[in-house]
């Protein structure tokens, strides 16, 4: 099976919000991503709506049915939004106020598991596929399977921040073992966070992985890939 690519376009909206302009428009970015190789477009609707806004989710889901993967917390408000716009899939992630980015996988406590179970049931009733963002540990994979998730997205943050080759190998092994177990339990496996042009292949090579969700490295690369054209077009006008 060909490995799929989900492109996270949150930071297109970060740029737009910096000037409170109507552009760059995440819908335009989604069209570019989907016409150049992305299989899915990923957006994280945060409680503080600092980049992606609810209206972006509405327009993206309307324009690209079957291709929007929404990341959100398990709050009742986020559940309501997901049920309203019906993205292809929802990845439930932990969210802490003030965090710069998602810091790791979900923490399964009795309270959170009860809430997750409820949200997963509601999403399934609307035929929305559910992914849980988890650390690559056997315990968390088993919990995700018990809760009825369709997908686990393995957090690659620790892997992407490994300090040396030995640590990298150990973290890759954890990801491989987690993938094996998840597949045995009938879960589809995605990976994401901190993946870039240098570190992605070792993860992509793990048998049983089906999708890489990548944002920051692609969006930042696009600036330097596009800046020469943008500057020379302007100079050409003058």
What's the min distance (Å) between Cβ of 238 and ligand PXP? Answer: 36
Q: Which is nearer to ligand PXP, 38 or 91 (CB)?
A: 91
Please name which of 47, 82, 40, 44 lies closest in space to residue 211, comparing C-alpha atoms: 40
Cis omega (within 30 of 0) for bond into 24: yes
* Alpha carbons 99 and 226: distance in angstroms, whole number: 29
Q: Does 136 bind ligand PXP (CB under 6 A)?
A: no
The Cβ of residue 152 has, within 10 Å, a number of other Cβ atoms equal to 31
Is the Cβ of residue 71 or residue 150 nearer to ligand PXP in the bound state? 71
What burial class does residue 37 get, using C-beta atoms within 10 Å of its C-beta: 0-12 exposed, 13-18 middle, 19+ buried? Answer: exposed
192 touching ligand PXP, by CB under 6 A: yes
Q: Does 133 bind ligand PXP (CB under 6 A)?
A: yes
Question: According to CB under 6 A, which one of 195, 200, 206, 209 is a site residue for ligand PXP?
Answer: 195
86: Cα separation from own chain's centroid: 16
Which of 123, 143, 193, 211 is close enough to bind ligand PXP by CB under 6 A?
A: 193
**Distance, CA of 3 to CA of 235 (rounded, Å):** 40
What span, in angstroms and rounded, lies between the C-alpha atoms of 66 and 24?
A: 23
Please identify, using beta-carbon distances, which residue of 150 and 235 lies nearer to ligand PXP. Answer: 150
| Nearest residue (CB) to ligand PXP, 88 versus 216 | 216
| CB 70 to ligand PXP: min, Å | 11
- Footprint of ligand PXP on residues 45-104 (CB under 6 A)? 71, 91, 93, 101-102
3-state secondary structure of 128: coil
Beta carbons within 10 angstroms of residue 69's beta carbon: 25
Minimum distance, C-beta of residue 199 to ligand PXP, in the bound complex (Å): 11
What the block records as the tokens of 203 is 């993860």
Give least dist CB 8 to ligand PXP, A: 5
Which parts of this chain interact with ligand PXP (CB under 6 A)?
8, 10, 44, 71, 91, 93, 101-102, 133, 153, 192-195, 213-217
């Amino acid at each position: 099976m060909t490995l799929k690519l989900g492109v996270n376009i949150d930071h297109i909206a970060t740029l737009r919000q910096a000037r409170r302009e109507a552009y760059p428009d995440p819908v335009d970015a989604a069209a570019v991503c989907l016409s150049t190789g992305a299989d899915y477009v990923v957006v994280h609707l945060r409680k503080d709506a600092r980049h992606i806004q609810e209206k972006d989710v509405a327009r993206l889901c309307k324009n690209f049915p079957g291709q929007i993967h929404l990341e959100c917390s398990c709050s009742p408000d986020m559940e309501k939004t997901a049920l309203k716009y019906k993205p292809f899939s929802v990845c439930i992630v932990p969210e802490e106020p003030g965090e710069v980015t998602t810091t790791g996988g979900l923490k399964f406590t009795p309270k959170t598991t009860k809430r997750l179970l409820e949200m997963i049931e509601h999403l399934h009733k609307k035929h929305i596929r559910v992914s849980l963002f988890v650390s690559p540990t056997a315990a968390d994979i088993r919990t995700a399977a018990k809760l009825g998730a369709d997908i686990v997205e393995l957090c690659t943050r620790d892997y992407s921040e490994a300090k040396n080759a030995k640590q990298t190998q150990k973290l890759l092994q954890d990801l491989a073992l987690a993938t094996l177990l998840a597949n045995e339990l009938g879960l589809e496996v995605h990976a994401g966070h901190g993946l870039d042009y240098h570190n992605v292949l070792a993860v992509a090579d793990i048998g049983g992985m089906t999708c890489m969700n990548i944002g920051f490295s692609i969006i930042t690369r696009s600036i330097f890939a596009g800046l020469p054209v943008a500057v020379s077009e302007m100079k050409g006008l003058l």
